[in-house]
């Protein structure tokens, strides 16, 4: 088996049963903000598209799904491997591009093409990517790999039932806007960025140790930010207030904690040849000196990229919709969002307050308890956003149903909040369609069955995590202060009170075990 890096999460897998092109992206994505790091334009995209037999898109995030690239390079009769998602947004996107040779991949079922075996493992929770993410397992009899990309699966037993992979490709860098765009003191932003990087590293190491593949390839990030207003957020940031660990940094971290794993750079042009666990590596795009320059003199490399690629940014900006007048924008959002708010009882209760949006000359508030959108009139708000009017006007023109997959990952906005992160608010803003809202409301209602308990340290705790129902006997750890941390997303609970320390709501049921509660006998 041969695997070639295409940049970001992209890869070209050559097997005895056909070639799979996965998540090919040229970008820039998210309103011209994200470019693949390093530059992947020099790859032989015509050949890759011509020689691919299968197309796999893991999820709808635009750093994985690039319609312009597909239109230009991937033929329309290719067999598309479609993850089994509860809503059909990704399928609609793919069909709109003219692809109709679709193979539906039921969760956990093996698809066979001669000696080639493929399994797609989808995730379906509201916080999984744009309501859905997936991983790809491939075995052709000569080798086996797991391409996990951005997905954070909870049921590792089912995922690994396919077999232990010889090589493991996984996200180790973030895909989020926290804390860079938040209105915070600089020292707080630096501290939160460090905590976020540490949490991402811990999550990646959790999966690496559970999967236990001999060869590990960090990928799916980091991005390059080449817009002048975002350039400082590359990597750890010019001011140490960003979260984007690069491949070389993570490999050094992994080597320190788990030297038994063979961590290798996987960048555009990297060629991985596997015969079982026997590995051969080469590079088809960059020389060793060029790779050293990219990672060891990163800011110089980024500066050269910024200087040469401004036209791509200008072209994207020129493609945006004309800015709507404030009254028209308010009317459009009101007509769009209020019917969805009325269907969103759990979300409205979870948000529990007013959210302010300053969009160009428009100053509006979304009253979640009352399911109303109106002009801002001085109400107390729990969140406040400032967003460029051309981005919102374009989202309205495109009827973009997921603002996390457009405005928020663009990082071309700012936000403040009083109190903790509110997952329900973020969920609403990526569920701006009836299908999505109804699915998420049903999903939340099904999560209320938390009746099974388990022993974790000195505590009896509900077995399933209130966030995404991970099995806390496998992902939870309690410290000496009675704080439980779930390693999936580093969420924390004070078991003495049951309160979530990471966000609003999501309380946990917990009691101190009887033996631990007894004072020692004298």
pLDDT digits (tens, 9 = 90+) for 367-382: 999 999 999 999 999 9
Q: Is residue 522 part of a domain?
A: no
Q: How far apart are CA 460 and CA 426, in angstroms?
A: 31
In a domain, 320, yes or no: no
Asked if 49 and 174 sit in the same domain, the reply is yes
Same domain, 365 and 221: no
- CATH number of the domain within which 387 lies: 3.30.1050
Q: What pLDDT band is residue 445 in, cutting at 50, 70 and 90?
A: confident
Helix 298-308 crosses helix 288-296 at what angle (to 10 degrees)? 100
Q: Mark whether 284 and 346 lie in a shared domain.
A: no
pLDDT in tens, 463-503: 888 876 777 888 888 998 899 998 767 889 999 999 888 87
In the chain, what is the greatest distance between 2 CA atoms, to the nearest angstrom? 79
CA distance 265 to 247: 6
Nearest in space to 133 (alpha carbons), one of 220, 58, 57: 58
Chosen domain end from 313, 339, 356? 313
pTM: 0.87
In CATH, what number is assigned to the domain containing residue 35?
A: 3.60.15.10
Query: Does residue 332 sit within a domain?
Result: yes
Return mean pLDDT, the chain: 93
Residues 46 and 182 in one domain: yes
Residues 334 and 395 in one domain: yes
Both 425 and 309 in a single domain? no
The answer on 333 and 209 residing in a single domain is: no
Distance from C-alpha of 76 to C-alpha of 513, rounded to nearest angstrom: 60
Whether residue 45 lies inside any domain: the answer is yes
Q: Say whether pLDDT at 513 is over 90.
A: no
Q: Does residue 61 lie within any of the structural domains?
A: yes
In a domain, 505, yes or no: yes
**What is the average pLDDT across 110-128?**
91
Q: Are 512 and 493 in contact (CB under 8 A)?
A: no
Residue 450 phi/psi, 5° resolution?
-120, 50
Per the structure, the count of domains in the chain is: 3
Contact (CB, 8 A) for 125 and 468 = yes
ω before 396 within 30° of 0 (cis)? no
**Residue 326 in contact with residue 361, Cβ under 8 Å?**
yes
d(CA 270, CA 358): 45
> In the structure encoding, which two tokens stand for residue 198, read together?
């540490």
Q: Mark which of 268, 284, 313 sits at the end of a domain.
A: 313
Beta strand residue intervals within 201-353, DSSP E: 215-219, 223-225, 262-263, 270-275, 278-283
Full residue range of the structural domain in which residue 511 is found: 453-517
Please write the tens of the pLDDT for every residue from 36-69: 999 999 999 999 999 999 999 999 999 999 999 9
- Asked whether residue 306 falls in the same domain as residue 370, the answer is no
433, 464: one domain: no
The larger pLDDT score, comparing residue 457 to residue 118, is at: 118
Percent of the chain surpassing pLDDT 70: 97
Residue 321 covered by a domain: no
Q: Which pLDDT value is given to residue 381?
A: 97
**Which pLDDT score, from 0 to 100, does residue 207 have?**
95
Residue with the bigger pLDDT between 247 and 27: it is: 247
Over residues 155-159, mean pLDDT: 86
pLDDT score for 516? 55
Beta carbons of 258 and 205 less than 8 angstroms apart: yes
In a domain, 46, yes or no: yes
Tell whether 371 and 458 lie within a shared domain: no
User: Token digits for 101?
Assistant: 């040779």
Q: Are residues 262 and 338 in the same domain?
A: no
Give 400-441 pLDDT, tens digit per residue. 999 999 999 999 999 999 988 999 999 999 999 999 999 999
What confidence tens digit (pLDDT) does each residue in 275-331 have? 999 999 999 999 999 999 999 999 999 999 999 999 999 999 999 999 999 999 999
Q: Is the pLDDT of residue 128 over 80?
A: no
Please check whether residues 277 and 334 belong to one and the same domain: no
Q: What per-residue confidence (pLDDT) applies to 521?
A: 45
Give the model confidence (pLDDT) of 167-203 as tens digits: 999 999 988 999 999 999 999 999 999 999 999 999 9
């Amino acid at each position: 088996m041969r695997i070639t890096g295409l940049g970001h999460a992209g890869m070209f897998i050559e097997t005895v049963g056909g070639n799979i092109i996965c998540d090919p992206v040229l970008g820039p994505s998210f309103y011209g903000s994200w470019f693949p790091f390093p530059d992947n334009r020099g790859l032989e995209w015509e050949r890759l598209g011509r020689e691919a037999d299968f197309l796999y898109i893991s999820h709808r995030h635009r750093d994985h799904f690039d319609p312009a690239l597909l239109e230009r390079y991937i033929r329309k009769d290719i067999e598309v491997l479609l993850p089994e998602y509860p809503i059909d947004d990704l399928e609609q996107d793919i069909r709109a591009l003219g692809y109709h040779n679709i193979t539906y991949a039921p969760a956990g079922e093996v698809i066979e093409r001669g000696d080639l075996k493929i399994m797609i493992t989808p995730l379906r929770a509201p916080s999984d990517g744009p309501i859905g993410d997936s991983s790809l397992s491939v075995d052709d009899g000569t080798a086996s790999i797991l391409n996990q990309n951005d997905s954070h699966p909870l049921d590792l037993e089912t995922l690994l039932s396919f077999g232990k992979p010889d090589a493991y490709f996984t996200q180790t860098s973030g895909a989020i806007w926290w804390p860079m765009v938040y209105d915070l003191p600089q020292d707080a932003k630096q501290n939160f960025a460090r905590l976020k990087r540490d949490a991402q590293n811990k999550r990646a190491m959790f999966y690496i140790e559970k999967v236990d593949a001999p060869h590990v390839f960090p990928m799916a990030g980091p991005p390059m930010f080449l817009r002048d207003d975002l350039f400082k957020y590359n990597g750890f940031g010019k001011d140490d207030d960003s979260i984007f660990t690069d491949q070389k940094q993570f490999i050094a971290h992994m080597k320190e904690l788990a030297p038994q794993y063979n961590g290798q750079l996987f960048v555009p042009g990297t060629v991985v040849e596997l015969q079982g666990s026997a590995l051969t590596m080469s590079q088809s795009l960059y020389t060793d000196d060029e790779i050293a320059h990219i990672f060891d003199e990163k800011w110089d490399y980024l500066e050269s990229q910024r200087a040469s690629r401004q036209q791509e940014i200008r072209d994207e900006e020129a493609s945006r919709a004309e800015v709507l007048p404030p009254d028209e924008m308010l009317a459009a959002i009101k007509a769009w969002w209020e019917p969805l708010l009325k269907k969103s009882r759990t979300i409205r209760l979870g948000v529990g307050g007013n959210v302010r949006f300053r969009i160009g000359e428009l100053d509006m508030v979304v009253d979640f308890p009352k399911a109303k959108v109106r002009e801002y009139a001085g109400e107390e708000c729990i969140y406040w956003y400032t967003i460029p009017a051309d981005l919102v006007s374009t989202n309205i023109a495109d009827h973009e149903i997921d603002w996390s997959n457009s405005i928020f990952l663009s990082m071309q906005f700012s936000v403040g909040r009083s109190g903790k992160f509110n997952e329900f608010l973020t969920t609403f803003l990526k569920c701006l369609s009836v299908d999505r809202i109804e699915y998420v409301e049903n999903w939340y209602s099904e999560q209320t069955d938390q009746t099974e308990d388990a022993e974790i340290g000195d505590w009896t705790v509900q077995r399933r995590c209130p966030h995404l129902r991970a099995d806390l006997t496998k992902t939870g750890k309690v410290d000496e202060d009675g704080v439980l941390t779930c390693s999936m997303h580093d969420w924390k609970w004070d078991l003495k009170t049951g309160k979530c320390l990471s966000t609003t709501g999501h309380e946990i049921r917990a009691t101190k075990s009887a033996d631990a509660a007894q004072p020692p006998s004298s």
